[in-house]
C-alpha cells in the first residue's frame, strides 16, 4: 500500500497561477515520487476572481484534489491553519504557496529525509529572489523572532515544512484563534532537520499579501511564542526609573555646590525628558496591547473560519462545517 503525502496550498485570487501550482505538484509526484499517493488540499480564502472555478475544474478531473472555500476572507493565517487541520496523510507539507516561490521540486529531498526517520523537515531560505530592502526586512524579522522566542527555531524558516502524521496530529490539537503555523512544529518537538534552498520569484501575478498582513503576521509571531517584548518593557522601565532617580539625586547634590548655582535653569531638558519618557511609555503600552489583543481574540472563542463549500470531501451530508 502506498504511503500518502498531503500538500496544503492556501490561495486567494490566484487565477493566473493556481493551475500551474497543481500541475507542478502532479509532475513532481509522477516523475520523482511515483510510489507515493498524492493528496493536494487547496484552501481558498473567498477569492473574488476565477480561482474557485478553476479549482472546481481541477477537482472534477482529479479526486486526489480537495478544496475548501471560505464564506469570507478570514485572513491568511486562519485560512491556512484551517487547511492544516483538514490535512490527512502519512506526511504533510504544511504550506506550498500558490505562486510557487517555495518550489515543489524540493519535495523529493524532503520525503527522502522523512523516510530516514526525520519527523519534521523544514526549508531554510538561504537566498531570496527579491528586492534588497525586502530581503533585509525579512532577514531582520526572522532573526528577531528566532532570537526572542523560547523555541529552537533557526532563522529564515517559514511554513515550508514536511511533517510526519504524528506531528500533524499534535499540531491539530492547538486551539489558537490567531495561529502562527511555522512555529508549531518546533513547539511540539520531534526529530528535525533543515534543508537550505533559494526562494524563487513569483511565477505569475502579484502578491495578495499586503504590507499590513506582513506586519500582522510578524507581531503575531512575536506575541505567540515569545515573552521577550514584554520582558524588554519591564527591563527598560526599570532602567529608566533607576536613571531618573540617579539624575534627580545628582541634581539635588549639584544644587548645593557652587557649580550648581551657575547652571542655568532652562526647560529644554525637562521637555526633552518628558517627550522621551512619554514616547517610551506609549511604545511599551503598544506591546502590552498586542498581548492583550491576543488574549482577547482567544477568549472570544469564535470559529477559526466558516466554510462556504467543500469539494471532493467525503462528508456524509456534504455541508460546509465550522472550524
Burial, 61: exposed, middle or buried (Cβ in 10 Å; 0-12, 13-18, 19+)?
exposed
- Which of 190-204, 211-225, 292-306 tops mean pLDDT? 190-204
pLDDT of residue 267: 53
200 plus 250 within the same structural domain:
no
Query: What secondary structure does DSSP assign to 289-311, as a single string?
Result: HHHHHHHHHHHT---S-BEEEEE
How do residues 31-75 score in pLDDT, each as one tens digit?
A: 999 999 999 999 999 999 999 999 999 999 999 999 999 999 988
Residue of higher predicted confidence among 270 and 186: 186
**What's the rounded Cα separation, in Å, for the pair 147 and 46?**
35
At 4, give phi and psi (nearest 5°). Answer: -105, 140
How do residues 129-154 score in pLDDT, each as one tens digit?
A: 666 666 676 667 666 666 666 677 77
265 plus 180 within the same structural domain:
no
Residue 46 domain flag: yes
Given a cut of 80, whether residue 93 has pLDDT beyond it is yes
Given a cut of 50, whether residue 105 has pLDDT beyond it is yes
- Read off the C-alpha cell for 279: 514616547
Residue 279 domain flag: yes
Helices 18-32 and 107-115 pack at an angle, to 10 degrees, of 50
Given a cut of 60, whether residue 208 has pLDDT beyond it is no
- Domain span holding position 261: 228-299
Residue 323 domain flag: no
Residue partners of 200: CB distance under 8 A and separation at least 6: 100, 101, 102, 103, 129
Residue 216 domain flag: no
256 plus 273 within the same structural domain:
yes
Residue 321 domain flag: no
Least-confidence region, from 1-5, 101-105, 155-159, 186-190: 155-159
**Number of domains into which the chain is organized:** 2
pLDDT of residue 316: 41
**What's the rounded Cα separation, in Å, for the pair 40 and 24?**
11
136 plus 246 within the same structural domain:
no
200 plus 155 within the same structural domain:
yes
Residue 215 domain flag: no
Is 0.95 topped by the overall pTM?
A: no
Q: How many CA atoms lie within 13 A of 185 on its CB side?
A: 33
Residue 59: count other Cβ atoms within 10 Å of its Cβ. 18
pLDDT of residue 319: 45
184 plus 65 within the same structural domain:
yes
232 plus 117 within the same structural domain:
no
Amino acid at each position: 500500500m502506498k504511503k500518502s503525502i498531503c500538500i496544503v496550498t492556501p490561495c486567494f485570487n490566484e487565477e493566473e497561477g493556481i493551475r500551474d501550482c497543481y500541475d507542478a505538484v502532479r509532475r513532481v509526484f509522477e516523475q520523482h515520487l511515483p510510489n507515493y499517493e498524492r493528496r493536494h488540499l487547496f484552501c481558498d480564502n473567498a477569492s473574488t476572481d476565477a480561482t474557485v472555478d478553476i479549482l472546481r475544474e481541477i477537482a472534477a478531473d482529479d479526486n486526489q484534489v480537495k478544496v475548501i472555500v471560505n464564506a469570507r476572507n478570514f485572513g491568511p493565517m486562519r485560512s491556512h491553519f484551517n487547511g492544516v487541520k483538514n490535512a490527512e496523510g502519512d506526511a504533510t507539507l504544511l504550506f506550498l504557496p500558490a505562486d510557487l516561490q517555495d518550489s515543489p521540486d524540493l519535495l523529493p529531498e524532503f520525503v527522502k529525509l522523512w523516510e530516514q526517520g526525520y519527523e519534521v523537515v523544514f526549508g531554510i531560505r538561504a537566498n531570496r529572489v527579491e528586492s534588497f530592502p525586502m530581503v533585509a526586512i525579512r532577514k531582520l524579522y526572522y532573526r528577531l523572532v528566532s532570537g526572542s522566542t523560547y523555541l529552537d527555531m533557526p532563522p529564515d524558516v517559514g511554513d515550508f515544512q514536511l511533517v510526519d502524521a504524528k506531528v500533524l496530529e499534535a499540531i491539530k490539537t492547538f486551539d489558537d484563534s490567531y495561529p502562527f503555523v511555522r512555529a508549531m512544529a518546533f513547539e511540539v518537538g520531534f526529530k528535525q532537520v533543515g534543508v537550505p534552498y533559494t526562494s524563487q520569484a513569483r511565477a505569475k501575478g502579484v502578491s495578495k499579501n499586503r504590507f499590513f498582513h506582513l506586519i500582522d503576521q510578524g507581531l503575531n509571531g512575536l506575541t505567540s511564542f515569545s515573552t521577550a517584548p514584554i520582558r524588554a518593557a519591564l527591563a527598560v522601565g526599570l532602567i529608566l526609573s533607576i536613571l531618573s532617580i540617579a539624575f534627580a539625586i545628582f541634581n539635588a547634590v549639584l544644587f548645593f555646590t557652587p557649580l550648581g548655582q551657575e547652571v542655568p535653569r532652562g526647560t529644554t531638558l525637562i521637555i526633552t525628558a518628558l517627550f522621551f519618557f512619554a514616547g517610551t511609555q506609549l511604545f511599551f503600552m503598544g506591546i502590552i496591547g498586542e498581548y492583550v489583543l491576543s488574549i482577547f481574540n482567544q477568549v472570544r472563542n469564535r470559529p477559526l473560519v466558516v466554510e462556504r463549500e467543500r469539494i471532493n470531501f467525503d462528508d456524509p451530508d456534504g455541508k460546509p462545517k465550522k472550524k
